[in-house]
Structure 1
Amino acid sequence: MCWPTPDGLSLYFADINDRKVAAGKAAQLSSRLALLAEVNARLLEAVDVRAAIEEVPGMLVPLLADGCVITLLQADGRPRAVAAWHADPDQRAALDAHTAVPLEVMPAASPVARVLATGVALRTSVDEVHDMLPVEDTRNLLHSLDATNGLVLPIAGRDRVLGALSLFTGTGRSPSADDEATAADIASRMGVALDSARLARAQAQIAEGFQRNLLTAPPEPDHAHIVVRYVPAGESARVGGDWYDAFLQRDGATVLVIGDVVGHDVEAAASMAELRSLLRGIAASSGGSPAEVLTSLDTCLELLQVGTMATAAVARLEQTPEQRAAGLTRLSWSNAGHPPPLVLHPGGELTFLAAQRADLLLGVLPGTRRTEHEVTLERDTTVLLYTDGLIERRTSDLDEGLDRLRSAVGELGGLPLDELCDGIIDRLVDGRPDDDVALVAVRLHRQDRPRPPEAGPRHLPTAVNRA
């Protein structure tokens, strides 16, 4: 700064280097913190953690390094480079070619192999790696990348090393201690995310397998073809509460059940198993009507102190000799707070079996009076019972979901029953649903003709009255 004075010209000098250095460090710190926040958000919000991790190299370069490679151990224990990125677009092809070299041909003393084996971070140089490469072409590729300095960090889970994060810089650039600390933090976060995803998959497989083992194959009565479907929720923690059932009572009547325990976790799956067993035991031993079965189930929940609530619909198909001769079947049903069954009549008419006033859920008020309803159905009628995961969406209400179901069944109703059920799920469930989906469908085939091939052979338990 300068200005005129009576004595001449005055000058003032100030050294701002320290301020510029401080400002630069503050900017770098801010950039590193923003990077950590972005990576963390991606990993936390990711539905597919592996896919999110494959985006990380493009986020780390060029802030922390000139190039980045992520190596993960596969299910068979072999390492594979799953993602790579270079700050120089002209170098990306060479980096992709270099990472395509199978890592299992590298000696055990190579930097990545040592980090995978020990879980300890390692600094390395291009000369160290160069001498280990088995083929001259791969050595030339490495030199073309100008990867002078390298840092390999373990991607570790709770009890094992899951992969490695490799960073390298070219001539004239050396990563700072802050850069290394930031990269180590990111590698640690990737390891936790991968490990959490692995544990979640394991839990989901256990819960889903447990649930599928409980949901048995339907019977094959003479007068009907029964098809069941179960689709687990997209999120592992939501596996649990939905169930279907279909079985015969001693007098030959067919019972259809659909239910949904309140809650979406492994505890809900355990409660579902208990309620399902109680209900089928009550219905099979007592031969009771749908309302009687639900009333008895409510009583059992109180007496056994089963602290859970659930919705359920029970339907019973039966016919007198006169109805059989006339090609008719009587359907009685009772509904404890569950979505209404849907009937597709032979002429294409669609009817929801909904009472004017809905009954309470199971487990809410012991002694609740259960109402029962009845309708007579013709041959070739189709009845669908389903859980709310089929029709409910976060972006729409229940009525819109019922309309979607009505529309799908109306368009697909002429298909064989298996294809109808698959088509309904394809249309109404986009990929893996937000909630479990259970579906049981029955089609009343003609009894004055041979049993349709798609209905399978007639198979009845020996205890069932075969008259």
Structure 2
Amino acid sequence: MSLQDRDRIAAGARMALASTSGPGLQRLLDLAAALLAAPSVGVALAGEVQTIVGTSGRPVWRVGAQHRLSDTVGRTVVTARAPRAYADARADPRVADLPTVRAGDVVAYLGVPLFEATGEHVVGVLAVFGPEPRTWTDTDVATLVQLAGPVVSELELAAMTAELEHSRLRGDLAIEAAGIGIFDWDLATGRLDWDDRMLRLLDYDRSAFPGTIRALLDRLDPDEVDRVRTVIDAAVAAGGPFELEYRALLPSGEVRWMASRGRALRDGTGAVTRLLGAVQDVTRQRHGEAAVARVLESMPAAFFSLGRDWRFSYVNAEAERLLGRTREELIGGDIWELFPAAVDSDFEVHYRGAMDTGELAVFEAYYPAPLDAWYEVRAWPSTDGLSVYFLNVTQRHRADETARQEVERLALLARVTDSLSDALISRRGGRGALTQLMQAVVPGLGDWVIGSLVEDSGRLRDVGGWHRDPDLRPVVDRYAELRLGALRSTAPIVTALATGELTVVPDVAAAVGNGLPAGAVADAYWTLDPGTAVAVALIARGRVLGAMSVYRSRDRAPMNAAEQALLKEVADRVALALDSAALHEQQRRMAEELQRSLLTAPPEPDHSEIEVRYVPAVQAAQVGGDWYDAFLQPGGATVLAIGDVVGHDTVAAAAMGQLRSLLRGIAYSSGGGPAAVLSDLDRAMAGLQVHTLATAAVARLEQTDEERAQGLTRLRWSSAGHPPLLVLHPDGRVEELATERADLLLGVAPERPRREQVEVLQRGATVVLYTDGLVEGPDLPLDDGVLRLRQLLGELGNLPLGELCDQLLQRMRPGGSEDDVALVAVRLHREDRPRPQSAGPEVVPPTP
């Protein structure tokens, strides 16, 4: 049962208790007490709480009291939806613990449910009870069930009576609040009756009221008398309703606007005998409407109203100006006839949508000539039709469009810049940069594009194309392969290259397509079937580097002036990037050649195979300080050296050349071991003022006759802060040669002594020296890189030495390194056999 139902029936119960006529609820309860000889009777509404609405007999319950339903015996009646009888509730475990039972107020109990009219919901309980045990008979139950129906009917009746009374009261209050006066004019006698509100509206005292139609006519503005009489006479003649507004002029001089509605009534013969109606003061509304009209007329925004028949009912001055028609032309005219271009446009869609849904419509739309303007429109519907407010936002729309185009321009330039940067960083050269550009300008500036480069020989060559439709990209590539050989000397791209200016082609078919020879090139062209095109030369520092042809399909507007300017700006950037890429590559080659010129080929002593590698950094002109060396000392020992001068510039390269030459000279002339060579080099750097820092590692392969017979070689080595040497033993074990505390870099403290270590190697061992560019970078910590190199050396150790070096470089740095890399590897072949053919010929100085 809903809360509203319970409230309604509770109100009916109170009404019944207060009633002095009819049996009433109280009399029904008294009857139940008498028929069942019960000490107490009660009726309660059941919801989340139980509300007592009537009692009789011993006062156990109080009308209006509320209890939780779970705390009442009536709960079992509601739950069961059937009568419940307890001879002694104290002995029944279902209800024994309830408060009223424990208190002794309810011992014997009989309750029946009260159902609402449909019989679906239990709305309450009718119960008889007493403080002493009692056995209830079937007759008792039947009697109480029969009384339940009249109790519900009495509650419903009282509720309806209360609702009617409330409705009448609300109606009176509404009439009073609205200030509505009532009149009744008896046409047969001429008697006119006004209620008190009507008298106040027209400023009459009851004692001075004449009681005839003259009372109304005397209060009318003289200009209104004839019109009012005409409307009243027409209503009386027709015997129907009437409605009018008029100005009343009160004795005080105050003018009031009155709205009157009424109806003429006929008697049994059909004659009109009475005129009934109501009058309301609408002066404020009239003044408000006048104020609104003044605002609408003075505001700079356009406003008009349409009736539900789509005819203009109001137009303000600004709307006249924007719509280009006078008020006389617009009022009463059909909007779709006066403005035919609005039919099937956004205006009609939104106007009809607002009228159909009753919801506000807000939109922007363009109306063609003669208005030729963009409008911001707000249309809100009402019962009378549609009110429309609109502003001419053409200037704002153009500004927004300009801003949007500027944002798109900047976004395109950013994409182009990023694409060029990626192409140059990845060292894909001019072709890669042009490919990136073509993908960046589609679809922003065109539907497809072909890029061309000028080769060193001076010939123009198409390097490829790009189409917004992936399925047509192979067709563009095919056309790019064939078109230059089929074009005439007057083709747009030829003109663009010759003049250096941007060339616009308004009809590509006329300029190119119709002149192509039959075959594959024409087939590719007509499959693409472009409408317009723009060709632009790529020029930097006065040199033509290439060209770009941007095409648009037939269903797309030609490129406008702003887009052409953007394409020219993009082309200039690309040309500069292509020129920079070429210079970049030239510098990189010079740097690499310079670096390699400072490095020499290693010797190849008997049964010792030596491989060296140098890989420049991916950045062009990044001449590094990495170097390697391998040579024989006069005593016949093989010396391996590797180093890295701090810095990446020509100064570092020059310092590298000095250090390498000094180390080679010191090691050869002195015949000293690795530690002595590094110490002498450190002192020579200080004495010769070679102001630089460098890491270096020197290793010497030594062997006595006994060791030679045993197949052993001693590796003596020393390190000046350089990454550890790696040794691949014949059994596949990889060892990292490093000291617990590395010696200082060269150029730090020449006076500090240096240490050297000795490792005994078996024939078949491989020693690898390398610079940090191989094992360290932004993406690779040094320790992780060394571990990765050790793993690769163990995996690839069975490869020939040259292939091993190549694989180590490729797998450690598949995309190149930001630092240059030097690598030296030596493999000790068995001496009890001839030198392996894979090691190549022996190469040693004439007199070691």
Give the alignment's TM-score, normalised by structure 1: 0.89
2:529 paired with 1:152: no
Deviation at 1:258, TM superposition (A): 0.9
Cα 1:107/1:281, change in 2 over 3 Å: farther
Cα 1:306/1:97, change in 2 over 3 Å: same
Structure 1 match to 2:564 = 180
CA deviation string 1:303-338 (max 9, x = no partner):
222232211100111122232233222221111111
CA contact (8 A) 1:229 1:421 kept: yes
Structure 1 match to 2:226 = none
Structure 2 match to 1:359 = 743
SS where residue 841 of structure 2 aligns?
A: coil
Q: Which segments of 5 or more consecutive residues in structure 1 lack a partner in the other structure? A: none
2:438 paired with 1:57: yes
Distance, in Å, in 2 between the alignment partners of 1:331 and 1:322 is 16
Structure 2 match to 1:457 = 841
Deviation at 1:94, TM superposition (A): 5.9
| Farther-moved stretch of structure 1 (107-116 vs 341-350) | 107-116
2:412 paired with 1:30: no
Q: How does 1:332-351 map to 2 (within 5 A)?
A: 332-351=716-735
| Farther-moved stretch of structure 1 (282-291 vs 412-421) | 412-421
Distance, in Å, in 2 between the alignment partners of 1:28 and 1:38 is 15
2:453 paired with 1:72: yes
CA contact (8 A) 1:130 1:142 kept: no
For 1:99, the aligned partner's letter is: A
2:496 paired with 1:112: no
Deviation at 1:456, TM superposition (A): 2.9
Q: How does 1:175-324 map to 2 (within 5 A)?
A: 175-324=559-708
Deviation at 1:85, TM superposition (A): 4.1
2:504 paired with 1:123: yes
CA contact (8 A) 2:420 2:437 kept: no
Deviation at 1:223, TM superposition (A): 4.5
SS where residue 482 of structure 2 aligns?
A: coil
Cα 1:92/1:215, change in 2 over 3 Å: closer
Deviation at 1:462, TM superposition (A): 2.4
Cα 1:196/1:462, change in 2 over 3 Å: same
SS where residue 392 of structure 2 aligns?
A: coil
Distance, in Å, in 2 between the alignment partners of 1:43 and 1:277 is 41
SS where residue 101 of structure 1 aligns?
A: helix
Cα 1:433/1:21, change in 2 over 3 Å: same
CA contact (8 A) 1:391 1:402 kept: yes
SS where residue 443 of structure 1 aligns?
A: strand
For 1:16, the aligned partner's letter is: V
CA contact (8 A) 1:116 1:162 kept: no
Structure 1 match to 2:397 = 20
Distance, in Å, in 2 between the alignment partners of 1:194 and 1:345 is 50
Deviation at 1:58, TM superposition (A): 4.0
CA contact (8 A) 2:694 2:747 kept: yes
- The structure that has the greater radius of gyration is 2
Distance, in Å, in 2 between the alignment partners of 1:102 and 1:435 is 43
CA contact (8 A) 1:223 1:446 kept: yes
CA contact (8 A) 1:240 1:267 kept: no
Structure 2 match to 1:82 = 463
CA contact (8 A) 1:106 1:132 kept: no
Cα 1:67/1:417, change in 2 over 3 Å: closer
Deviation at 1:23, TM superposition (A): 2.0
| Farther-moved stretch of structure 1 (91-100 vs 353-362) | 91-100
Deviation at 1:254, TM superposition (A): 0.7
CA contact (8 A) 1:282 1:293 kept: yes
CA deviation string 1:51-87 (max 9, x = no partner):
3422433432443345433222234432222343456
Cα 1:90/1:446, change in 2 over 3 Å: closer
Distance, in Å, in 2 between the alignment partners of 1:129 and 1:375 is 79
| Farther-moved stretch of structure 1 (148-157 vs 277-286) | 148-157
| Farther-moved stretch of structure 1 (392-401 vs 86-95) | 86-95
Deviation at 1:393, TM superposition (A): 3.6
Q: How does 1:386-425 map to 2 (within 5 A)?
A: 386-425=770-809
For 1:81, the aligned partner's letter is: D
Structure 1 match to 2:339 = none
State percent identity of aligned pairs.
49
Cα 1:415/1:31, change in 2 over 3 Å: closer
SS where residue 404 of structure 2 aligns?
A: helix
Distance, in Å, in 2 between the alignment partners of 1:251 and 1:114 is 73
CA contact (8 A) 1:55 1:83 kept: no
Distance, in Å, in 2 between the alignment partners of 1:20 and 1:96 is 40
Deviation at 1:249, TM superposition (A): 0.5
Deviation at 1:243, TM superposition (A): 1.4
Distance, in Å, in 1 between the alignment partners of 2:498 and 2:657 is 44
After superposition, the CA RMSD in angstroms is: 2.8
Distance, in Å, in 2 between the alignment partners of 1:386 and 1:89 is 46
| Farther-moved stretch of structure 1 (363-372 vs 201-210) | 363-372
CA deviation string 1:198-250 (max 9, x = no partner):
11111111121222233222112224222222222222243422111110010
Cα 1:45/1:130, change in 2 over 3 Å: closer
Deviation at 1:109, TM superposition (A): 3.9
Cα 1:395/1:106, change in 2 over 3 Å: same
Distance, in Å, in 1 between the alignment partners of 2:692 and 2:612 is 25
SS where residue 769 of structure 2 aligns?
A: strand
Deviation at 1:40, TM superposition (A): 1.3
CA contact (8 A) 1:383 1:441 kept: yes
Cα 1:45/1:248, change in 2 over 3 Å: same
Give the alignment's TM-score, normalised by structure 2: 0.51
Q: Which segments of 5 or more consecutive residues in structure 2 lack a partner in the other structure? A: 1-302, 307-312, 320-390
Structure 1 match to 2:263 = none
